[in-house]
Structure 1
Amino acid sequence: MNGHVLYEVFLAVAREGSFTSAARVLGYTQSAVSRQVQSLEDETGAVLFERLPRGVRLTEAGRVLLPHAEAVRDRLSAARAELAALRTLEGGLLRLGSFSSANAALVPRTQAAFRDRHPGVAVTRVEGPSVKHLAQLAAGEQDLAVVSPALAAPPPEGVTLHHLLDEPMLVALERGHPHAGRRAVRLAELADEEWIVGAERLEDTLFRPAVAAGFRPRTGLMAHDWIAKLGAVAAGLGITLVPALAAAAVRRDVTLVTIHPDDVPYRRICAATPPAPTVAATAFLGQLRETAESLRGALGGAG
């Protein structure tokens, strides 16, 4: 017999003051209640009830056990309620990871819509590079991440990728730049420009596919932070690549022009989950797909 059932029977007998009344309340036979009380007494090594001519009453040992049995009952009840909340999205926790430019529009819009639909689910969000989120997902430290995985590399074992959208690359120019009014531009037209990059190794930047195709930009200023990069662009110190997802956060004195996809291919944006995601992660993934669909037209990327 499960221990929690023995405690439920014990509490019913203590409350009702008789095996017969407890059996009626629990829907058991009187003999079944007697056997379960005896099992608990054998397990605890103590007589829990004083048998009287009419009913029973707690012994000293029974009075000691009573608050602990009530605590077990309450904890189990709370656990059942929390588990039910997980299934119905009325509670629980979603551990989310995302890379920086996804946090400009895709992720916050999704999170806001998810909160409106499921206000009882707490969401924690950590920003960082995609490779970090994929590793944390594989280790069970995150429930879902929005990532931009390398095209040639398979995801880590234990991670499933769900394609959301393909993101164009833009170039940020100062307002007075000769190309500022263009709809699209080729990298060859920007070969003489001074580029602001985020790392010394261009292979570690958004330029990776362009470098692989043979384009080597002239680099001057290096800045890791988007605020610093765009501030330098606005001041006329150079130009920089900007992912289309980050366009909504770009300052107004900077102009964005699309880079031709033959020069810098669209970047694949995916949601990453474990093979068996939580109920909350599954719901958030559905909301991500809705948000991605609404963003595709504005981004100008492929589906």
Structure 2
Amino acid sequence: MLPTHSLYEVFLRVAADRSLTSAATALGYTQSAVSRQVQSLEAELGVALFDRLPRGVRLTEAGRVLLPHAEAVRDRLAAARAELDALRTLDGGLLRVGAFPTADAALVPRTLAAFRTLHPRVSVARTEGSSGKHLRLLAAGDLDVAVVSDTAGRNLAGCTLHHLLDEPMYVALPEGHLLAGRRELRLADLADEEWVAGSTRPEDTLMRPAAESGFRPRTAYVVQDWIAKQGFVAAGLGVTLLPALAADSVRADITLVTIHPDDVPHRAIYAATPRGLGQSPATAAFLAQLRETATELTANGPRGR
């Protein structure tokens, strides 16, 4: 590969060596190539920078004025190259990540922990909120990668989806519940149960597929916060639907039983990236780690099931 140096770096080398020939040797150019680059800089600035002597060259007054400015340009270029190298080698840079709440229970923090171990110098900025919010941020260029679900009906024009896993659903039962020993349940088995839900409308919750099929849970309590939902279930006030990604954060006095996928289908989880844009090395590395973590979570199941 041919050496590449800015015109200012060539100028500084010639000024230091006081010789076009010596500068050419130091830079890995021919003497004529160095001469042409000096002439190009002189033409660009409209002044002569060197007096050509029988033996070597000497800075003109204009060359002496340019000298500290050229040194500043050289230093800034060196700093820029170092930062660009850091981005390329994952020795620096910024990664902007967003995720919906239950992805932040295990999938995202485990991925971040592994990513930080491998690339400790990459800074990570994180946002939380709904999948819709993060898809909008991604399309606007304000995120590098987002972990999302519930993409039906969303505007995905500015995003590319990378499938991570299909997330099963569980029903959370109070300890000692008659159905707690079952390995799998149908919603018909829970027809007489009272439910703790985030809304009185099943269509606005994880129960939407079941509601569309005609199942209408008896909602006893509307509770938005997931920690509070667990408290209600543990106290025997009802049962609730739980996505698998949140299963590892469930308190010990709650039992999880799989819901048959014909009743509540598995939910697709994706990593989304901006469409049509090149991925940074940090984004590509984080995506790879997300896939690895998703595979581990799928294999192990909640609480090592």
Take 1:270 and 1:196, find their aligned partners in 2: how far apart are those partners? 27
Shift of the alpha carbon at 1:186?
2.1
Matched, 1:291 2:263: no
Matched, 1:250 2:253: no
- Which residue is 1:217 aligned to? 217
Take 1:29 and 1:248, find their aligned partners in 2: how far apart are those partners? 66
Q: Could you list the runs of 5+ residues in structure 1 that have no partner in the other structure?
A: none
In the TM superposition, 1:1-303 aligns within 5 A as: 5-51=6-52, 54-150=55-151, 152-153=152-153, 156-275=156-275, 276-299=278-301
Take 1:16 and 1:48, find their aligned partners in 2: how far apart are those partners? 14
Take 2:30 and 2:58, find their aligned partners in 1: how far apart are those partners? 19
Shift of the alpha carbon at 1:31?
4.4
TM-score by length of 2: 0.86
More displaced, 190-199 or 261-270? Answer: 190-199
Percent identity of the aligned residues?
69
Shift of the alpha carbon at 1:60?
4.4
Take 1:220 and 1:68, find their aligned partners in 2: how far apart are those partners? 74
Take 2:83 and 2:286, find their aligned partners in 1: how far apart are those partners? 19
Q: Could you list the runs of 5+ residues in structure 2 that have no partner in the other structure?
A: none
8 Å CA contact 2:169, 2:259 repeated in 1:
yes
8 Å CA contact 2:132, 2:154 repeated in 1:
no
8 Å CA contact 1:144, 1:273 repeated in 2:
yes
8 Å CA contact 2:19, 2:56 repeated in 1:
yes
TM-score by length of 1: 0.86
Q: Which amino acid aligns with 1:70?
A: E
1:181-229 CA-to-partner distances (Å, cap 9, x unmatched) read 3322222232333322223443221111111111121223222221121
More displaced, 167-176 or 87-96? Answer: 87-96
8 Å CA contact 2:111, 2:289 repeated in 1:
yes
Take 1:231 and 1:63, find their aligned partners in 2: how far apart are those partners? 76
Alignment RMSD (CA, Å): 2.6
Take 1:47 and 1:204, find their aligned partners in 2: how far apart are those partners? 74
Take 1:247 and 1:212, find their aligned partners in 2: how far apart are those partners? 25
Q: Indicate how the Cα distance of structure 1 residues 11 and 206 shifts in structure 2: closer, same or farther if over 3 A, else same.
A: same
